[in-house]
């Protein structure tokens, strides 16, 4: 991978001025946030509680943060609501996990005085190993507030519902009033069992089991954050259905975290789904490999030697889950390929016999880790050709200082700690630099390690790097030329070292130093570093893939991977272009870390593609960044409003934001509409967003021909974008947003596949995690007139796409280049037309405080007197010039004080005739602020 030099983020940036800070989505001012919790409308305000780490910018110390709003868009962050619980020794014994809040209008729990309506929070107590009575248990607890959510008291009788389970969590509570009676209903999950468990209570403190729902549809990951609510179909109050929401991680349709839903009936006891899908049958075809006969059917097996269980493949296919593995599902017959033997550690390859491609499609079931094949990557860990400048294989007893390195800070206290023989994977030789090991304080070590000078006599400097990532310049390897930092590279919060390379051709022949800067503390506050090579070619990044690859002429021409799920699903390759050629299928497990295994079964040759089961399910969103979405309790007029966490557990802890991490989606009103498949959800951003549209600044174009890259002259990074696209003869067509002309996010339509997509593979910063660069797509037929209508909301670091009248949404984070706001169009394989496009700026609702209005005041005076001119809303210390537009008066200057105000007495000469005059204040930038002033004739009363 080639690294680049990026500007360091200012540590003390004002909220709203940070590069990726959203301006219409909620973010906490600082620190970590995940699932929305306890969303409730009470006391004329919307309350948004959320999973929060009050002490850091990654997941941990789980407590409930709190924010309030009158319109769901202008949020005011409140003090921490419900903190984690500590024992007398200062150890956390209870984390506060997700849950919900209700308005107890009848005071059924008795937490308030007679006639009051307390807010009651129902949340998961995640008891830590230090808890004296329930270590490792998750149970449901209560807290209540008598002051509209500002302070909370934990119930003395907690927990109120305990199943002695380690994965029982995320209670969503509502009031049921129907044929079965009137009572509180709780929907929670047994996460690893893929079940929603339903309970009822009359007082919120005593709970009776009603029924269970699930497993159903996607079970590729743990089930979390359920919801259950009733909605009219097509607005008909006499025709209603119930919606069961189940979020899951991983196992979503486009990978990682996501939310599915079911439509059906709830009778007060049992939810019955009417939208659960059965198994997907593959198309007709020839089975090439089913792995059901107890052997690998002639496939060549390459197991890594030296592992205790003979992994990763062993000598025969697996028959299901292996030792230590979660349940494996979705395979066909008696056996499957499963590289979990020796857990995720062992690596190896499995290759089919050679075959001739005679059919249009190769279909197969795949599962396991989501570690795609890296084009141009290597499966080994070989350095590039060149001169090894620093290898760190120093003789025993020799330190870095002995080798001419300059060492400061904690690393100088015990210089013998580096080079180290501990920490990291994929280093070369026996020794490497490790700033965790390099001082007495582990991740809290701070200091620098600076190499001796060396000559840059090649086009590239390559090296192995691992460890932590920071985006503020406090943890990085630096190339220093003439005392200036000209290149930087950080880790990726990964213990494995991987190759990075700097293009240094412009510095050929100059002297340089390598400096390792570690000013970071806390988790992943260290770097590992090894093997610096100067040469004519960059190092090849290692491909830590868990993949299934089609090999033709020794090249990977098609590839697939799992989705971090133990559930196998169908994948199809269109291989028509290779008909008549010889090929093999190579399965590669080259990953030792989490989800470092691959599953394969039922390889078939066919004239039709297999249909993925996931695409047949109903999803809240088809993007990568809409998770843990649940609804508000008690919203006005009975509307159902949902909001989700705009992130994905695949990379949530690594997104390049600071001092906060994560945002919430825009709130969405959901309704049920009739479709050929039955009632399904329709989502729209809440109508309050219309009040933030700066329609006076909107720009529109009509009937724009698009043939290749097409400029539109439009821009916007906090905006609503409405597009009617006619793909026409193009293979693909669409627009690019948040672009700087070179990189950007592409939103488009694929006419052959009939799919809408968001492509963020070249959207900006995509290198912080291997799972981030991605294309999210969904099936979508064109309208009858051959067009597709898109509604987009851009907010600096996100794209929320609504189409199909709100029945299909795609939500993705993106991290564009600084200042990237260009909107352009493009087509491939033919011409298209943008029938209309409108870009309307959105007035910020978060962090950007409106500048105070500039105002003038002055008294009407007699000619020959004086006037006092006052102004407010100017810049502090700004110099202005006051003019009365008359030939008889001289301009006077004034300077605004620290509050942006000034007051200046100005004489009006006796020769100034009575009448209306323009009083003008000329600002420092040449702009004017004016008002009309009446001058009364001299001597007149």
Active-site residue identified among 35, 193, 494, 795: 35
Span 68-96, mean pLDDT? 97
Three-state SS at 478: strand
Distance CA 534, CA 384 (A): 9
pLDDT attached to residue 932: 81
Distance CA 238, CA 72 (A): 29
Phi/psi for 206 (5° steps) reads -120, 125
Q: State the pairing for strand pair 928-936/861-862.
A: parallel
Distance CA 400, CA 402 (A): 5
pLDDT attached to residue 42: 96
Contact at 8 Å (CB) between 413 and 377?
Answer: no
pLDDT attached to residue 939: 56
Q: Is 50 exceeded by the pLDDT of residue 6?
A: no
Residue of higher predicted confidence among 523 and 356: 356
pLDDT attached to residue 931: 84
pLDDT attached to residue 397: 84
Going by pLDDT thresholds of 50, 70 and 90, the confidence category of residue 909 is low
pLDDT digit string, tens, across residues 304-363: 999 999 999 999 999 999 999 988 999 999 999 999 999 999 999 999 999 999 999 999
The DSSP result for 373-426, as a single string, is --TT-BSS-PPPSSEEEE---PPTT--TTTTT-EE-GGGGTSGGG-SBSSS-BS
pTM for the complete prediction? 0.82
pLDDT attached to residue 10: 35
Distance CA 257, CA 250 (A): 5
| Residue 842, number of CB atoms within 10 A of its CB | 20
Counting every residue written for the chain, the total comes to 941
Alpha-carbon separation of residue 323 from 301, 309, 340, 521 (angstroms): 20, 10, 8, 37
Dihedral in degrees, nearest 10, Cα atoms 67, 72, 76, 80: 0
Q: Could you tell me which of 785, 792, 787, 805 has the C-alpha nearest to residue 758?
A: 792
**Alpha carbon 229 to chain centroid distance?**
27
| Residue 629 half-sphere exposure toward CB, CA atoms < 13 A | 31
3-state DSSP helix/strand/coil percent for the chain, to nearest 5? Answer: 5, 45, 50
Going by pLDDT thresholds of 50, 70 and 90, the confidence category of residue 152 is very high
| DSSP at 283 | P
Three-state SS at 636: helix
pLDDT attached to residue 638: 86
| Residue 237, number of CB atoms within 10 A of its CB | 8
pLDDT attached to residue 13: 64
Residues 6+ apart with CB under 8 A from 882: 869, 891, 892, 893, 894, 904, 906, 919, 920, 921
Span 791-820, mean pLDDT? 97
pLDDT digit string, tens, across residues 242-283: 999 999 998 899 988 999 999 999 999 999 999 999 888 888
Phi/psi for 191 (5° steps) reads -60, -45
Active site residue 35: yes
Q: Is 90 exceeded by the pLDDT of residue 887?
A: no
Distance CA 83, CA 154 (A): 10
Distance CA 37, CA 564 (A): 26
Distance CA 519, CA 475 (A): 6
pLDDT digit string, tens, across residues 589-619: 999 988 999 999 999 999 999 989 999 999 9
Going by pLDDT thresholds of 50, 70 and 90, the confidence category of residue 897 is confident
Phi/psi for 18 (5° steps) reads -65, 150
Q: What percent of the chain is modeled with pLDDT above 70?
A: 96
pLDDT digit string, tens, across residues 704-734: 999 999 999 999 999 999 999 999 999 999 9
pLDDT attached to residue 896: 87
pLDDT digit string, tens, across residues 442-500: 999 999 999 999 999 999 999 999 999 887 899 999 999 999 999 999 998 888 999 99
Q: Is 90 exceeded by the pLDDT of residue 876?
A: no
For the ranges 277-281, 424-428, 777-781, the lowest mean pLDDT is seen at 277-281
pLDDT attached to residue 911: 63
The DSSP result for 639-658, as a single string, is --EEEEEE--TTTGGGSS--
Which H or E run contains 871? strand 866-872
SS3 readout for 515-544: EEEECCCCCCCCEEEEEEEEECCCCCCECC
Contact at 8 Å (CB) between 228 and 182?
Answer: no
Q: Is 60 exceeded by the pLDDT of residue 3?
A: no
Span 730-753, mean pLDDT? 96
Q: Is 90 exceeded by the pLDDT of residue 5?
A: no
pLDDT digit string, tens, across residues 531-565: 999 999 999 999 999 999 999 999 999 999 998 88
């Amino acid at each position: 991978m080639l690294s680049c030099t990026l500007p360091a983020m200012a540590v003390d940036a004002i909220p709203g001025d940070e590069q990726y800070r959203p301006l219409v989505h909620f973010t906490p001012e600082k620190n970590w946030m995940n699932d929305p919790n306890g969303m409730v409308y009470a006391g004329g305000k919307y309350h948004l509680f959320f999973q929060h780490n009050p002490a850091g910018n990654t997941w941990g110390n789980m407590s409930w943060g709190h924010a309030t709003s009158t319109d769901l868009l202008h949020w005011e962050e409140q003090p921490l609501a419900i903190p984690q619980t500590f024992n007398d020794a200062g150890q956390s014994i209870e984390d506060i996990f997700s849950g919900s809040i209700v308005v107890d209008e009848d005071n059924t729990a008795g937490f308030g005085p007679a006639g009051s309506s307390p807010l009651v929070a129902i949340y998961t107590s995640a008891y830590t190993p230090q808890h004296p009575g329930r270590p490792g248990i998750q149970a449901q607890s209560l807290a209540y507030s008598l002051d509209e959510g500002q302070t909370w008291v934990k119930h003395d009788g907690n927990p109120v519902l305990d199943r002695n389970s380690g994965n029982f969590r995320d209670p969503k509570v509502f009031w049921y009033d129907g044929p079965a009676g009137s009572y509180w209903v709780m929907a929670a999950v047994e996460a690893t069992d893929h079940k929603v468990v339903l309970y009822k209570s009359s007082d919120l403190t005593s709970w009776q089991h009603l029924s269970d729902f699930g497993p159903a549809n996607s079970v590729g990951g743990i089930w979390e954050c359920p919801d259950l609510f009733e909605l009219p179909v097509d607005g008909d109050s006499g025709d209603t259905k119930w919606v069961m929401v189940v979020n899951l991680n991983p196992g979503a349709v486009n990978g990682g975290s996501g939310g599915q839903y079911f439509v059906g009936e709830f009778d007060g006891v049992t939810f019955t789904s009417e939208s659960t899908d059965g198994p997907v049958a593959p198309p007709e075809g020839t089975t090439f490999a089913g792995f059901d006969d107890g052997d690998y059917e002639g496939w060549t097996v390459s197991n890594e030697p030296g592992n205790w269980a003979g992994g990763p493949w062993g000598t025969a296919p697996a028959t299901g889950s292996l030792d230590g593995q979660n349940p494996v599902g979705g395979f066909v017959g008696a056996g499957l390929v499963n590289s979990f033997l020796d857990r995720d550690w062992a690596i190896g390859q499995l290759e089919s016999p050679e075959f001739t491609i005679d059919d249009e499609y190769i279909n197969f079931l795949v599962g396991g880790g989501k570690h795609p094949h890296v084009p141009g990557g290597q499966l080994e860990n070989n350095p590039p050709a060149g001169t090894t400048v620093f290898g760190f294989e120093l003789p025993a007893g020799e330190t870095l200082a002995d080798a001419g390195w300059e060492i400061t800070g904690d690393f100088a206290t015990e210089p013998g700690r580096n080079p180290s023989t501990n920490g990291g994977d994929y280093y070369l030789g026996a020794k490497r630099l490790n700033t965790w090991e390099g001082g007495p304080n582990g991740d809290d070590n701070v200091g620098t390690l600076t190499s001796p000078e060396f000559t840059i006599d090649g086009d590239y400097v390559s090296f192995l790097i691992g460890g932590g990532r920071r985006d503020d310049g406090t943890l990085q390897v630096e190339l220093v030329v003439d005392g200036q930092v000209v290149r930087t590279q950080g880790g990726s919060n990964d213990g494995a070292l991987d190759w990075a390379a700097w293009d240094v051709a412009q510095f050929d022949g100059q002297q340089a130093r390598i400096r390792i800067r570690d000013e970071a503390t806390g988790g992943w506050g260290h770097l590992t570093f090894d093997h610096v090579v100067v040469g004519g070619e960059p190092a090849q990044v290692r491909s830590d893939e868990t993949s299934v690859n089609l090999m033709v002429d020794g090249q990977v021409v098609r590839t697939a991977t799992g989705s971090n799920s133990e559930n196998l699903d169908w994948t199809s390759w269109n291989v028509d272009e290779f008909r008549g050629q010889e090929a093999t299928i190579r399965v590669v497990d080259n990953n030792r870390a989490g989800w470092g295994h691959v599953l394969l079964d039922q390889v078939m040759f066919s004239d039709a593609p297999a249909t993925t089961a996931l695409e047949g399910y109903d999803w809240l969103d088809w993007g990568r960044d809409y998770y843990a979405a649940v609804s508000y309790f008690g919203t006005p007029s009975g509307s159902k409003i949902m909001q989700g966490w705009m992130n994905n557990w695949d990379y949530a802890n690594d997104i390049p934001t600071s001092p906060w991490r994560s945002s919430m989606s825009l709130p969405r009103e959901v309704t049920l509409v009739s479709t050929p498949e039955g009632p399904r959800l329709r989502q729209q951003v809440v109508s309050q967003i219309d009040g933030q549209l700066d329609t006076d600044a909107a720009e529109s174009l009509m009937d724009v021909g698009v043939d290749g890259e097409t400029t539109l002259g439009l821009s916007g990074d906090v905006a609503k974008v409405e597009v009617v696209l006619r793909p026409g003869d193009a293979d693909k067509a669409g627009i690019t947003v948040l672009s700087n002309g070179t990189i950007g996010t592409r939103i488009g339509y694929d006419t052959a596949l009939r799919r809408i997509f968001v492509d963020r593979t070249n959207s900006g910063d995509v290198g912080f995690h291997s799972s981030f660069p991605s294309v999210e797509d969904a099936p979508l037929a064109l309208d009858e007139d051959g067009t597709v209508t898109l509604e987009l909301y851009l907010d600096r670091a996100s794209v929320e796409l609504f189409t199909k009248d709100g029945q299909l949404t795609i939500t993705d984070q993106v991290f564009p280049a600084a200042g990237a706001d260009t909107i352009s169009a493009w087509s491939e394989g033919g011409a298209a037309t943008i029938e209309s496009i409108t870009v309307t700026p959105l007035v910020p609702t978060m962090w950007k405080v409106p500048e105070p209005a500039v105002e003038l005041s002055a008294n009407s005076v007699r000619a020959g007197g004086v006037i006092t001119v006052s102004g407010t809303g100017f810049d502090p210390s700004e110099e202005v010039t006051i003019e009365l537009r008359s030939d008889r008066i001289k301009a006077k200057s004034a300077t605004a004080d620290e509050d942006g105000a000034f007051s200046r007495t100005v004489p009006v000469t006796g020769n100034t005739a009575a009448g209306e005059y323009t009083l003008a204040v000329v600002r420092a930038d040449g702009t004017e602020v004016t008002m009309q002033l009446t001058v009364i004739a001299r001597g007149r009363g």
